[in-house]
Structure 1
Amino acid sequence: MTPRLLLIISGGIAAYKSLELVRLLRKRGMTVRAVLTQSAQAFVTPLSLGVLTENPVFTDLFNLKDEQEIGHIQLSRQADLVVIAPATANILAKMANGIADDLATTLLLATDKPVLAVPAMNVRMWHHRATQRNLERLHADGVHIMTPDDGEMACGEFGTGRLPEPERIVAEVERLLALPKGHDPLAGQPDFADAPETSALLRGKHILITAGPTHEPIDPVRYIANRSSGKQGFAIAAAAAQAGARVTLVAGPVHLPTPDGVTRIDVQTARQMLGAVESALPADAAIMVAAVADWRTADAADQKLKKDGSGQPAPLALVENPDILATLGRHAQRPALLIGFAAETQNIAGHAQAKLARKGADWIVANDVSGDVMGGDSNAVQIVTASGIETWPALPKGQVADKLIAKVADALSAHPH
């Protein structure tokens, strides 16, 4: 059966990419019906969309002809998937609050089909607390949300907020269409009756994850850091999102794409990471994977430190960074399950057991980083708890993430809060 899509285009500059998106969707054999918001018509015309979709284009909630021939309720339910691309901050806010004041938002409130939102907006709008709050509510309501790309924007600013490339959107559409049917938005989350059990393991849970290194400035061009690629933390965030969790990922400076369905907060330093972690609370589980620099300079230089010809190094006073894991261990909003990572080069289990008690964590995931684990694609870990040590063989980091998230789900279901 030919997949049927309802494509809602809202009014941002990225709306012009919807034409290429339609072309690719049609090339993949999909039927596309398009809805344009009033502001979207400033960027894309109904005529151009109609030619590409080979279907009427809908724009007006109270168009008598459209209502007689199809009706907005029917239109909202005759698709296999509803896609909003681009999804502006405005339409996301309306969706999150159940506002139905035009055809697009009325369709979204009336549909009983899965919904994919593809946000695109200015970087500051994306990171605004109101937008992030709306995204969290939509995720909890079962809306699938792609994370925008990083890059230069039409406004001249740089950061997260660019519409993902049409090819990436098509890939996500195909992934969602391949899921078993049975979505019921009134239940608050996607409900795929025949889906693998992992799709609902963490439904309704908030998982907080840190990943990557921190960069502690010495001067404007130098910094103290750990050799962390962020791959393991990002893999865990992806696995948690796939298990149905609402995921907040606090990431140090790494060049990795944000996993779909994950809310990402970028930081540079340990103090910034701690602030972001505390702002993201409460959480059901926190998995602290980041390799946080233990020390920072007491006073970072405003200008580049230069050699003076004496052969002596510049004086560098170090102070300890805040201990994020230990802070959470004694926090008033301590997560029900607190997991730390221990990157060790010797006496792996012994150091992890000491860290478990010292930090007030529930588990420590210990790994031997004496080889090429940092930056590599596989990992061999030991899960250290108060009751013992569980040793896993070397596995791809994605499989480590899947196993860990399954274990987290078991622990949270055994001790619900």
Structure 2
Amino acid sequence: MSFQSQAGRPARMSRHVLLVTLAGALLMSAAMGVRQTFGLFVGPFSFDHGLPVTEIAFAIALHNLVWGVAQPFAGAAADRHGAAPVVAFGAAVFASGLAVAGLSSSGPMLVIGMGMLVGIGISCTSFGVVLTAVGRAASAEQRSLAMGLASAGGSLGQVVLVPLAQVVSDRSGIATALLALAGCMLAAAPLGILLDRGSAAAAPLREAAAPPLRAALAQALRHRGYRLLTLGFFTCGFQLAFIATHLPNYLLLCHMPAGLGATALAMIGLFNMVGSWGCGWLGGRFRQQHVLGWLYLIRGAAIAAFFLLPKSETSVLLFAGTMGLIWLGTVPLTSGLVAKVFGTRHLGTLFGVCFLSHQIGSFLGSWLGGYLFDLTGSYSLVWSATAAAGLLAALLHFPIQDRPAAAPRAPASV
């Protein structure tokens, strides 16, 4: 794997960057793969434990919001103390949340386990902590692609862990399946050590004179491009959560085969492996805000075409493949752009604030889709809003300036 250096000679990815990227991909596989299994447990929790579907759906939706709120704090902790202790803490909390959900038949305990604890745990074991470590380890020329490769790991976990969880659940019940997933998270905890080893070898040399966190955060919040990027990331969360949550039910309303929704979601995950890598590759060769703008335009057009055109199994699979190619490619591009403008010293915190916006959008996309469907009996309003949001996000991203920001001065001591 090679990259063009500024002098025109290929610059090979060093061993420590490859190690950090691989560790990040494996950790993302565990965290994101486990998260993608939650939809499998809605029916069993309802039938076996007698819990209302609304309560189960709220617990699953809540972890998105908790994840977003906790992400800036998890990122700040990783910026200060390194990835290893944050990942270890997050894996333990994640696993405990799965265990609480699996061993309790109480609705409130399900909300605490799958909503609160899982949300905190995934904030410490996913994008904001993992991609920060990868971004610090890689050079500026390698950063976008390395982040894209690590992001692609999340879909690998989805491909492997979703069918595994289904098999274990069918044979031994949902409690055993959730405990097995908890074991996967605990097994992934040591990967945080590898993230620290690789990033520590590079970051201090590149950013020895980083500003204090408070000054860096104040500077970012005053930066027009950062505000636009944060607003645009809200759209990404809204679009993805709506589709992931409501596409299967929408297809049933369109009289599509019962298993087509699950197949479409699996295709999204499979194609996202290629898409995350491809978006990272493009971000290393073109201005990342322009790649993001085109990505949102394509996503909005694909959503509008799918909604307006006649439905068939072929059109559903084409839509799923297209969405997969542009599904999570926004994440390495967004985090890479933050790193380009503000550096990597406080990347975990600054990306975490952006990601909070993403998760607020995720919560609203999942909840609002169901609310408006109950209110109107149709998903038409939300499909239209989801498509229009792509155009709005594109208009927000194209004007972003990506020049490195001048280092802010620390406040004078009295």
TM-score, normalization by structure 2: 0.29
Q: Which of the two has higher C-alpha Rg?
A: 1
Q: Which has the higher strand share?
A: 1
Q: Which has the higher helix share?
A: 2
